[in-house]
Amino acid sequence: MDSNTMQGINPIISVNSLWKVFGKNPQTVLEEPYRNQTRADIQQELGSVVALRDVSFEVYPGETFVVMGLSGSGKSTLVRCLIGLIDTTSGEINVDGEDITNFDARNLREFRRTKMAMVFQNFGLLPHKNVLDNAAYGLEVKGINKEDRHSKAREMLDKVGLAGWENANQTELSGGMQQRVGLARALAVDPDILLMDEPFSGLDPLIRRQMREELSLLQTEIQKTIIFITHDLDEAITIGDRIAIMRDGEIIQIGTPKEIITEPANEFVREFTQGIPKTKVLDIEHVCTDPDVVFTPNDSHAVVRAKMDHAKTDYAIGVDPEAQYIGILSRDQLNTVLDSTVAIDSLIDPSILSVLPDTTLDEALSFLNDQNLPIPVVDDKNAFIGVATQPDLLKVVASDL
């Protein structure tokens, strides 16, 4: 979800100047001269720990908002404040216009049952229940009858790839499968907001990669608002629409994966993001240029060949009168046909696929071809935008080396 998509949309979550201080007399930290002192100085002088310092951000409906940072940065404290598991020291947490920091115990229970669900790192499955009953547990707590809750739980288990495992015990499941049950349980109550606190960090690297890819695919279907906590930048970039980087209880930068990698706010963010290839976050539009030669179906072989000769290029892009992309024609293919009456557009190489402008350079590299032809770029209505040449793609790859 980019900034253009968010324009005119009200945030579902709005956090304003949030503080969380652990220790005696936490309000003292909010006063001068302590308010602007470092976390270390405050801890040394007052014995208090500033877990969150003046945190503000907004999350929009359907967005995957990733909060990341090193251990002790405050990210897990933040997510627990968002669901009311930890009382805040100061500030507001507005969810759909209601400040949950003012909720009493009854309102908080209702809020967790209906508005927001959480997926924990340690799965939290009940050992005496099978997979189906674990997935249905949140609905059981809400008082939903057995038939209805099992029906909904089966639907969610199917979404997370666990159809057929309903009667299994958790001891029969791998770590990744147990985490899927936890995700199904959270989805079964149909929350508007899903909080995920480092849910994949306890998994093996391969399973972890599979889980985050599956979550990205699932999100395209369910379109929940997700706040995802992680210390893994590669994970954040894979699943996040926007990323908030935290350090010592503060948010240092909020931005899209592309903004975080290419426009770091300071040296800390720059060092934090080192090692992530630009090809993972830059899209093909970044290297898109106009082709040297464009032809239409009405052009003759001689005209197209002359255009290629003049431009000193070995390809031409075909478009129709409405600027719709037809295909790419190589010089080799043109030269193999001696009959000039053959329609020029019938010579197009069908093996060269076009891509959308938001295709990442990482994905685009898989489209490179042996003929050294560029990658055509079109919009979602097949209107031609431009081409990405192999040299331009490889320049970006080389810049990361």
**pLDDT tens digits, 313-344:** 999 999 999 999 999 999 998 988 888 888 99
Distance CA 73, CA 89 (A): 17
- Determine the pLDDT at residue 123: 66
Enumerate the H helices of 97-202 as residue ranges.
105-114, 131-135, 137-141, 146-159, 175-188
Distance CA 49, CA 210 (A): 37
- Determine the pLDDT at residue 225: 95
Q: Of the given ranges (66-70, 278-282, 367-371), which has the lowest mean pLDDT?
A: 367-371
- Band the pLDDT of 113: cuts 50, 70, 90: confident
- Determine the pLDDT at residue 92: 97
Enumerate the H helices of 223-344 as residue ranges.
233-239, 257-262, 267-272, 301-311, 331-335
**The pLDDT of residue 395 is above 90:** no
Residue of 261, 219, 259, 269 lying closest to 239 (CA atoms): 219
List Cβ neighbours of 112 (8 Å cut-off, separation of 6 or more).
Answer: 83, 84, 118
- Determine the pLDDT at residue 285: 92
- Determine the pLDDT at residue 2: 54
Residue of 179, 276, 283 lying closest to 236 (CA atoms): 276
Between these two residues, 398 and 131, which has the higher pLDDT value?
Answer: 131
- Determine the pLDDT at residue 292: 94
The arithmetic mean of pLDDT across residues 133-159, rounded, is: 92
- Determine the pLDDT at residue 245: 96
- Determine the pLDDT at residue 277: 84
Q: What is the pLDDT of residues 251-293, one digit of tens each?
A: 999 999 999 998 999 999 998 888 788 888 899 998 999 999 9
- Determine the pLDDT at residue 4: 52
Distance CA 268, CA 247 (A): 9
- Band the pLDDT of 221: cuts 50, 70, 90: confident
- Band the pLDDT of 124: cuts 50, 70, 90: confident
Which range has the top average pLDDT, 61-70, 198-207, 332-341?
61-70
- Percent of all residues in the chain with a pLDDT value above 90, rounded to a whole number: 60
The arithmetic mean of pLDDT across residues 146-170, rounded, is: 92
Report cis status (omega within 30 of 0) of the bond before 33.
Answer: yes
- Determine the pLDDT at residue 125: 84
Q: Of the given ranges (12-16, 152-156, 293-297, 333-337), which has the lowest mean pLDDT?
A: 333-337
**The pLDDT of residue 91 is above 90:** yes
Burial letters 337-368, b for 16+ CB under 10 A, else e: eeeeeeebbebbeeebebbebebbbbebbebe
Domains and CATH numbers, the chain: 3-115+191-276 (3.40.50.300), 284-399 (3.10.580.10)
Distance CA 9, CA 57 (A): 15
- Band the pLDDT of 86: cuts 50, 70, 90: very high
- Band the pLDDT of 206: cuts 50, 70, 90: confident
- Determine the pLDDT at residue 6: 64
